[in-house]
Structure 1
Amino acid sequence: MALVVAAIGATAFVLQFERVQVNRGSQKRGWLILTAMSAGAAVWCTHFVAMLAYRTDAQAVLVPSITIASLLIAVVGSGLGLALVEQRAPNMLRRAAGGVIFGLSIAAMHFTGMAGYRFDGIVTWDPGYVAAAVVVSVVFAIGVVLALTQEGMPRQRVVGATLFTLAVALLHFTGMTALQIDALPLSDSALGPHDREALAAIAAIVGMLVIANGVAAAFIDKRARSETKLHFERLKVTDALTGLPNRNRLREIIRARIDQAELEGERFALVKIDLDRFSDVNDLHGHLVGDEVLKIAATRISAPLSHADSAARVDGDEFALLVSGGDYDRISRLLSYIRSSLAKPMPLDGAEVRVAASFGVAVYPRDGDDGPALSRNADLAMARAKSQGSRQACFYNPELDEEVRRRRELAADLKAALAADDGQLYLEYQPQSDISLSRVIAYEALLRWKHPVSGLVSPELFIAVAEEYGLIVQVGNWVLGTACHEAAGWDAGIKVAVNVSPLQFSQSELPRQVRMELDRTGLPAARLELELTENALLADRDQALRIIGSLKTLGVGLALDDFGTGYSSLETLRSFPFDKIKLDRCFIAEPDAPVEETAIVRAVLALGQAFSIPVLAEGVETEEQLAVLQQEGCRLVQGYLVGRPSARPDFTPSYLHAGAALT
């Protein structure tokens, strides 16, 4: 019976000690107390149950205070030993020391418990057996600690519980062998057999209740931790908003589908879906409504799928489908249905929201034999669908999508060049001259990119790519900062002109960015001129007025670029305080040009004169063009005739006054 009690107690101890090891902070301390109580109760109960089998002619009286003290010794000693073991980064010496304390507490409990018996007889102890009992207890306790704290040890629970049971049992039997009692006449106060059995039963019941409580708590904690771990593992592969698999889970599904397809010789399609102009939904209705739109979209996208198909939310407003079979007609019908479903109104927040989507399809194995290749090609097809505004899904086509791939790679390289600032990007400066004064008044900063592999990249190409892939603001800020830094070292009378894209101008932070660069470089604001197109002013007229007002407060000059190619309204010149008008190169007339072209030049010059704004003609390349401009009264010019772009502007007097030869 005592061995059964010891085994049950050992099992409870091992289970609870595991909770000590996996918890932290106050929870760890709480489990340490419970474990110490279970260990102490197991030793104490085993001792009293085992005493039922002890036979002697001497009668005994049980002293309650000493008996209770023996229980406390077992609990406190176990707790101290285990606490030492469970300190941060325990080494072998600390684990052994903890085992020694644990073993001594077991031995101390036994001999203190025996001291709680008052025998009617002469009690003697054999020192050798007493020492042997203590040594056995300590050795096996050290074994328990080492077994339970050894990482990677197989079946460590079984080993630990077995050693604990042996420690308690061998201590008891060795310790009792050390005891010898010579009986004296009976005392009336001695415990009768029934009293002893009742006390032992009570001790066992109390101890088992303590142990059972600890075991139940251990199982509850372990179950809760398992459920929490499972929940977090599910969260790692599930999109929290829509409940669909996320990007990480999609990768796993694709790998599994490829493995299955290789074995069974099947095809499947990866479909990328991007909600068109979803940012407008957030801007107009707020992000809460946007989240609801994504939830509804996820439901509508996944609703028509078969059990063999899968849907996932990849990122933001982008979804993905895995469609079994790879049949083009079936895929087209499915995506047509999803497109129609998404186009239906979504009644949200008192308004009906409608969304459209672009679809790109790549079929395994034709369009990619692994997950990354398949995903890239589906993205390329989707990008083509989006750029074409196509109402049909675009299937990957290597020839058609090669341009998209090239532009994506170029965008990635441009982003890397901006981050590295290693000389790939640099500025060239083209002079702007006042031919009436025969001098250069400013240099326009022109961005150049020398790709490490492709060489010089056309500005028309990489600027378009920057706009397409959301890099234009970074590019604009780089040009602004670099131009201010380099112009700060020029002669005091020379300005630098910097182009500002419509998207960069729409940023409310532009005045702060300009001021920061002026402060950083020390360039006077009066020597910086920002060139804006009329299109930049049309998106939000009120904001444009505020931004231009802030820039003028800084003292920066403003030029209206490409005049004549946009709306070119009088209202623009009346509303915005420009310091210069730049006449686009397409209106620069030759002497034999049609009368209409010369009339346009004359009209723009007249507008400039009416509003007291000087006009600069771009793209002047021939003497004949210059003669026409001079005849019409234009004195500010820019073009190859005056000077080609150069990374190192020439500030020598002969160059600055080179315009004298043109007058």
Structure 2
Amino acid sequence: MYRIYDCLAHQHDIVLVLVALLIGLAGIHTAFNLYARACIGRLRQKIAWLFLTGVVTGGGIWATHFIAMLSYDPVVPVGYEPLLTAISLAIAIVTTTIGFAIASISGPHLVLSHLVLSRLVGGLVVGLGISAMHFTGMSAIRVPGIISWHMDIVIAAILMGALFGMASLYLAKTAQTDQQKLLGKANLTIAVATMHFGAMGALVITPDPTVPVPAQLISQEYLAVGVAVVAIGLIAIGFVTALVDRQLRDHVSNRMRILGDSAIEALVLTQNGRVIDANDSFLKLGGVTRAEILDQDFLTEWLSDTPAEFKSGKVGYAETTLSWSNNTAIPVEVVRREIPADEISDATVIFGLRDLRERYAAENHIRFLAERDALTKLLNRSTFNDRLAEALTQSDETGIPLTVMCIDFDHFKELNDSFGHIAGDHALRELGERLAELFSDNVVIARVGGDEFVALLSHPEQSDMDNVIARSRETAQQILDCVALPVFINAEHRAKLSASIGIAHYPTDGNDAESILFHADLAMYRVKQSGGNDIVFYSSEMDEEYRFKRQLSSNLRHAMENGQLELHYQPQCETDGNDQVIHSFEALLRWTDPELGSIPPGRFIPIAEETGLIVPLGEWVLRTACKEAARWKNPLGIGVNLSAVQLQKHELPELVAEILNETGLDPKRLELEVTETALIHNPARSMKILSDIKKLGVRIAMDDFGTGYSSLATLQNFPVDRIKIDQSFIKKLVSNDQAIAIVRAVINLSRDLNLEVIAEGVETDEQASFLNDHDCRSVQGYKYGYPKPISDYAHVVNPTEFPETTANRDSGIETV
């Protein structure tokens, strides 16, 4: 090291050394710009650019060497043999051309190890070429003396030149970024400097006047001029060529970049699989800078999950994940397009990418809306059915039973009627949230319509039915407790609900989804019929009852179509002591089925209400009764019962008016009987309908008075003409003090309100005597006549046809 330092410090002109280094830097700078261009051209253009790279690099290094030689003072006169000097220039150009050519080898068929090897080998050739050029140039020196070398320093210099030469092209890669170029230039400059000055330190010149010096030598003055001309010319040619080419490429690149940045989609350009450019949309998408992605293997480092067919180019579209080193993953759709190679550049692949996060989010939202109930965010009917089908299949495979629960909220309609549908929706939403939070992964719950919910309970690793039933009951009780918590309606009101839950098990209670749901629903309706707020497990008796109801419903429909229904009439009398006069009849529906025999109204009327048959059935009764009464010569009144379902029909007043007009019945003779329970389902609607009927001249009677929820409020608010005391109170007269008090109070209340009153179900003389004593003259019951066909009361309704009977003087009971 000391010899090298002593040689550089005391035997060289520092100014010329700096000039040599500047010439070398200029040449190497220009060379790497040319090399960068050579790495992206087609083969023919690549060869041309590589040759120009070698000429500029070799010429620059050669010029650096000989300018540095001119700065060296060996004490003795120095000359240079022309041929060897020229050969050294040729060696520099050839070896650097070959080295850069080897390093530029690339392509999709080369793996990373092959690329690294080509760059290392190329750098080694350049490094060794520097050494070959140097020692060939040194051998051209002619001095009157003997030249010798310190071989250890020579070997070290050659190794240093080779190592830094390898490092320069390895680190430079394809020289597409400023960083790559800077690393390549710095290491190659170090290679040239260490090689030259190391070798100069190993040089020993021993003066010897006897050594002959040829006359045909190049003097140092001429060498200086020649080297300067060669160096400046080669560097200028390379620089200008690279500058013009770069400007052209930059112009084209800028136009393409402007076009690319105008695109909403992310665009990435690659050559030989390496990124050469990307637009702003991609940089924003990836959160990177352009410098960070240049020369990366795009498919390997950014689209590693892409299908092999897309990577190979067999398909041009894929949906995949864009991911990189910061562990961020973005779903994208990618389109691949090939641009063939031209005179300017290699074949280029453009990747167009679109961020799919918004689309996936929209699809997930659509899927959520399709699978979920909009109000409660629970599963909807369709999705629940799919889950149930999957669970049944799994149950068949594992043998583990399933539980299905049908859940219905009790008196939810009253909540809607009292507070409005908005409050009802709020209650359903809150209950849905509670149930969703209550259940684990083993329970699936869905809203299937209105206030109806279903739950699917699985029993992992549990096949014992006793344990299954116990767990089902426990879960159902949790639901009841959850529903029982008050629901916020508004600042003044909280609603407390209850639920009816029917439970069925698979496979014991059904062999498919339809049957298991149906049986759970049957069990739920059994709870509703029993008052609600309870849990009932399905049993086979429920199925038998359902089949009977279904048969009854079918037979009832058939009876309506085939005239199997008839009306019986029960007299309503006015009494005064021992005399009684029939003033009206109540029309009562009777049905005798050919298969089942006589069926009481209490059995088939509820079924008609459940199935919707009550509307046409009620119209038939009203029309038939009015038509019959219109034929009577004795203008007695006719009473017809209205069901709660009929009373909610807006068109009821128009129907009554139509029937009256059609039959010609005097409206004052018609009395429509309604119950308190029917009125409170929708009080506002009931008030409007009854008021419209009242305007027709029709009388309104309140049936079963005293058994409802708000009797006094009903009397005050509704247009009632007559009160009918329910027969349950009449039956308890004489023996029950409370019944006596209630009947007496109703009679007095009616008198004070100027309303008529009639007692139903009078059967005994004691009952009749009590009512007569308390001034209740209007009565109805078996004591005064059984419900019979109107033909049995022909002497009453048509007295002129029976002159021997004075029906209006007495009741005519003797014929009943």
**TM-score range for the pair, normalised by the shorter chain length:** 0.5 to 0.7
- Specify the alignment match of 1:640 in structure 2: 782
Which of 309, 321, 326 is 2:455 aligned to?
321
Which shows bigger deviation, 545-554 or 409-418?
409-418
What is the TM-score when the length of structure 2 is the normalising length? 0.44
Report the Cα distance in structure 1 between the residues aligned to 2:475 and 2:482, rounded to whole angstroms. 11
1:444 maps to what in 2?
586
How is 1:147-186 mapped onto 2 (pairs within 5 angstroms)? none
> CA 1:456 to 1:597, structure 2 compared with 1: closer, same or farther past 3 Å?
same
Residue 651 (1) aligns with residue 801 (2)? no
Match of residue 472, structure 2, among 331, 338, 341: 331
Quick check: 1:409 aligned with 2:550? yes
Matches within 5 A, 1:293-304: 293-304=427-438
Q: Deviations over 1:527-568 (max 9, x none)?
A: 211234456667788876665544332111233444566699
Contact 1:590 1:628 in 2 (8 A): no
Aligned ranges 1:608-623 → 2 under 5 Å: 615-621=757-763
Q: Which moved more, 1:561-570 or 1:433-442?
A: 561-570
Q: Is the 8 A contact 1:435 1:637 kept in 2?
A: yes
Tell me the SS of whatever aligns to 1:493.
coil
Unaligned ranges ≥5, structure 2: 1-339, 341-351, 353-358, 460-464
CA deviation vs aligned residue, 1:589-620 (integer Å, no higher than 9, x gap): 89997999889877766766666655544334
Match for residue 260 of structure 1? 394
Q: Distance in 2 between matches of 1:271 and 1:601?
A: 46
Q: 247, 250, 266: which one pairs with 2:381? A: 247
Cα distance in 2 for residues equivalent to 1:611 and 1:393: 46
Matches within 5 A, 1:210-221: none
- Name the aligned partner's letter for residue 651 of structure 1: A
Distance 2:419 2:752 in 1: 44
* Number of the residue aligned with 2:638: 496
- Determine helix, strand or coil for the equivalent of 1:373: helix
AA aligned to 1:319 is F
Unpaired runs of 5+ residues, structure 1, are 1-200, 202-215, 217-223
TM-score, length of structure 1 as denominator length? 0.53
> Which residue of structure 1 aligns with residue 522 of structure 2?
380
Tell me, in whole angstroms, the C-alpha distance in 1 between the residues paired with 2:635 and 2:565: 27
Report the CA distance between 1:346 and its aligned residue.
6.0
Structure 1 counterpart SS, 2:794: coil
Determine helix, strand or coil for the equivalent of 1:323.
strand
The alpha-carbon deviation at position 493 of structure 1 amounts to 0.9
Q: What letter matches 1:254 in structure 2?
A: L
User: Would the alpha carbon gap of residues 495 and 310 (structure 1) be closer, same or farther in structure 2, given more than 3 Å must change?
Assistant: same
Distance 2:752 2:388 in 1: 67
- Pick from 428, 435, 439 the counterpart of residue 568 of structure 2: 428
Maintained 8 Å contact 1:342/1:355 = yes
Residue 668 (structure 2) pairs with residue 526 (structure 1): yes
Tell whether the 8 Å contact from 1:425 to 1:449 is kept in structure 2 after alignment. yes
**Contact 1:435-1:662 within 8 A present in 2 as well:** no
Tell whether the 8 Å contact from 1:430 to 1:645 is kept in structure 2 after alignment.
Answer: yes
- Paired letter, 1:376: F
**Matched-pair contact (CA < 8 Å) for 1:384–1:404:** no
- Secondary structure, in 3 states, of the residue corresponding to 2:700? strand
SS in structure 2 at match of 1:479 = helix
- SS of aligned partner of 2:562: coil
Shift of 1:356: 3.9
In the alignment, which residue of structure 1 is the partner of 2:603?
A: 461
Counterpart CA distance in 1 for 2:767 and 2:678 is 29
Equivalent residue runs for 1:559-570 within 5 Å: 559-562=701-704
- Residue-by-residue CA offset, 1:58-112 (whole Å, 9 max, x unaligned): xxxxxxxxxxxxxxxxxxxxxxxxxxxxxxxxxxxxxxxxxxxxxxxxxxxxxxx
* 1:393 partner SS: strand
Q: Where in structure 2 are the equivalents of 1:282-293 lying within 5 Å? A: 282-284=416-418, 286-288=420-422, 290-293=424-427
Q: Indicate how the Cα distance of structure 1 residues 656 and 466 shifts in structure 2: closer, same or farther if over 3 A, else same.
A: farther
| Cα separation, partners in 2 of 1:343 and 1:591, compared to 1, 3 Å | closer
Q: Is the 8 A contact 2:373 2:380 kept in 1?
A: yes
1:440–1:656: 8 Å Cα contact kept in structure 2? no
CA contact (8 A) 1:417 1:425 kept: no
Name the SS of the counterpart of 2:568 in structure 1: strand
DSSP 3-state at the match of 2:408:
strand
Q: 1:601 to 1:648 in 2, by over 3 A?
A: same
Shift in Å, 1:364: 1.0
Q: Match of 1:358?
A: 500
Alpha-carbon distance in 1 for matches of 2:680, 2:397 = 59
CA distance in 1, matches of 2:767, 2:508: 57
Structure 1 Cα separation of the partners of residues 749 and 415 of structure 2: 41
| CA distance in 1: counterparts of 2:744 and 2:409, whole angstroms | 48
Which amino acid in structure 1 is aligned with residue 471 of structure 2? Answer: R
Are 2:503 and 1:369 aligned?
A: no
Deviations 1:182-205 (A, max 9, x none): xxxxxxxxxxxxxxxxxxx9xxxx
Question: For each residue in 1:489-514, what CA deviation from the matched residue of structure 2 results, as whole angstroms up to 9, or x when unmatched?
Answer: 33361321112346655666544443
1:545–1:304: structure 2 CA closer, same or farther, 3 Å change rule? Answer: closer
Aligned to 1:169: none
Quote how far apart the aligned CAs of 1:382 are. 1.9
Distance 1:353 1:604 in 2: 33
Q: Distance in 2 between matches of 1:425 and 1:228?
A: 59
Distance (whole Å) between structure 2 residues aligned to residue 294 and residue 595 of structure 1: 46
- Of 508-517 and 518-527, more deviation after overlay is shown by 508-517
| Distance (Å, rounded) in 1 between the aligned partners of 2:812 and 2:788 | 21
1:468 Cα offset (Å): 6.7
| Partner Cα separation in structure 1 for residue 553 and residue 758 of structure 2 | 36
1:514 partner SS: helix
**Partner SS state of residue 261, structure 1:** helix
Which of 396, 404, 425 is equivalent to 1:270?
Answer: 404
Distance across 2 between alignment mates of 1:307 and 1:280? 34
TM-aligned CA distance change 1:336 to 1:231, over 3 Å: same
The one-letter amino acid paired with 1:310 is V
Structure 1 residue 643, shift from structure 2 partner: 3.1
Residue aligned with 1:385, SS: helix
* In structure 1, C-alpha distance between the alignment counterparts of 2:594 and 2:371, rounded to whole Å: 39
Closer, same or farther: CA 543–303 of 1 in aligned 2, 3 Å: closer
Higher deviation after alignment, 287-296 or 564-573: 564-573
The answer to whether the 8 Å contact 1:439/1:656 transfers is: no
1:395 equivalent among 519, 537, 540: 537
Superposition deviation, residue 463 in structure 1: 3.6
2:499/2:532 contact within 8 Å kept: no
- The structure-2 alpha-carbon separation of the partners of 1:301 and 1:440, relative to structure 1 and needing over 3 Å to count, comes to same
- Find the residue that maps to 1:334 and give its secondary structure: helix
How big is each residue's C-alpha offset from its partner over 1:343-384, in whole Å with a ceiling of 9 and x where there is no partner?
A: 556667767666543322111112122223211221122223
Matched letter for residue 566 of structure 2 = Y
Alignment of 1:121-136 (within 5 A): none
Specify the code of the residue in structure 2 equivalent to 1:525: P
CA distance in 2, matches of 1:612, 1:352: 39
Partner of 1:28: none
* Structure possessing the higher radius of gyration over alpha carbons: 2
Residues 579, 613 of structure 1: 8 Å contact kept: yes
Please report how far the alpha carbon of residue 243 of structure 1 lies from its aligned counterpart in structure 2 after TM superposition: 5.3
Does the CA-based 8 Å contact 1:433-1:638 persist in structure 2?
A: yes
Give 3-state SS (helix, strand or coil) of 1:651's partner: helix
Partners of 1:340 and 1:526 lie apart in 2 by 53
Sequence identity percentage: 39
